[in-house]
A and B are shown apart, each in its own frame.
Chain A
């Protein structure tokens, strides 16, 4: 691809702030993609994004069927019991076809690839969580200041 002499991106820090399946995957794909391109990559999970790295919740993320215009169905239908589970299983099947791994495996892959995974301190305190609540790939719980320090010289992407 022609870059017309522009400086290539060498480092990205990706913030994941949502806990829905469709809110989490873009950040994971971008972080992994960055490593695939030889860029430094780190993930910073904040607010409900923490669900994606919590042992108890990371295997049960769901697609949002309410308040999600992208679903193209009336909100009242999306609110029916089982609708979110149904949409989630549909999406998971499609992702499996594309060889996109489940969240836990994806995080292991990113970690093995040298990507770093952090939890946001303010959110961790707010939800009364601790390091033990997270999957082993989470390197540290860091403040926003530390996040900016670690992001020095790179691009920050908020999802």
Chain B
């Protein structure tokens, strides 16, 4: 995927995930993402269909989140 295809909100999510990863060594799972990134659950699934946390982590160059929630 080309970076110019990513809109502002996509970047919000990816940047937030990278920030958490730098701090904790683990990317956040969906629950943390929706609580803290400023992007809610509905938006998240619209931005990254077919598994938002998984997909955003992949695009952000991060490992797949391990959390169950």
Contact call B40/A38, Cβ cutoff below 8 A = no
| Whole-angstrom distance between the Cβ of B18 and the nearest chain A Cβ | 19
- Chain A interface bracket (under 10, 10 to 19, 20 to 34, 35 or more): 10 to 19
| Whole-angstrom distance between the Cβ of B25 and the nearest chain A Cβ | 17
Contact call B50/A38, Cβ cutoff below 8 A = yes
Interface members, chain A 83-101 (any B CB < 8 Å): 98-101
A7 at the interface (CB under 8 A from B): no
- Chain B interface bracket (under 10, 10 to 19, 20 to 34, 35 or more): 20 to 34
In the complex, chain B residues whose CB is within 8 Å of the CB of A113? 30, 41-42, 45
Interchain Cβ contacts within 8 Å, total number = 43
Chain B's closest residue to A98 (CB) is B69
Contact call A36/B32, Cβ cutoff below 8 A = no
In the complex, chain B residues whose CB is within 8 Å of the CB of A29? 68-69
* Complex alpha-carbon distance, A36 and B27, angstroms: 14
| Whole-angstrom distance between the Cβ of A143 and the nearest chain B Cβ | 29
* Complex alpha-carbon distance, A36 and B44, angstroms: 11
* Complex alpha-carbon distance, A37 and B52, angstroms: 8
Residue from B32, B35, B40, B54 in contact with A37 in the complex, judged by beta carbons closer than 8 Å = B54
Fill in one digit per residue for B32-54: 1 if any A CB lies within 8 Å of its CB, else 0: 10110000111001000111111
| Whole-angstrom distance between the Cβ of B40 and the nearest chain A Cβ | 7
Contact call B31/A35, Cβ cutoff below 8 A = no
In the complex, chain A residues whose CB is within 8 Å of the CB of B49? 38
Q: Would you give 5 A-B contacts (Cβ < 8 Å), ordered by A?
A: A29-B68, A33-B68, A99-B35, A112-B41, A113-B42
Residues of B that sit less than 8 Å from A by CB: 29-32, 34-35, 40-42, 45, 49-55, 67-69
Residues of A that sit less than 8 Å from B by CB: 29, 32-33, 35-38, 98-101, 109, 112-114
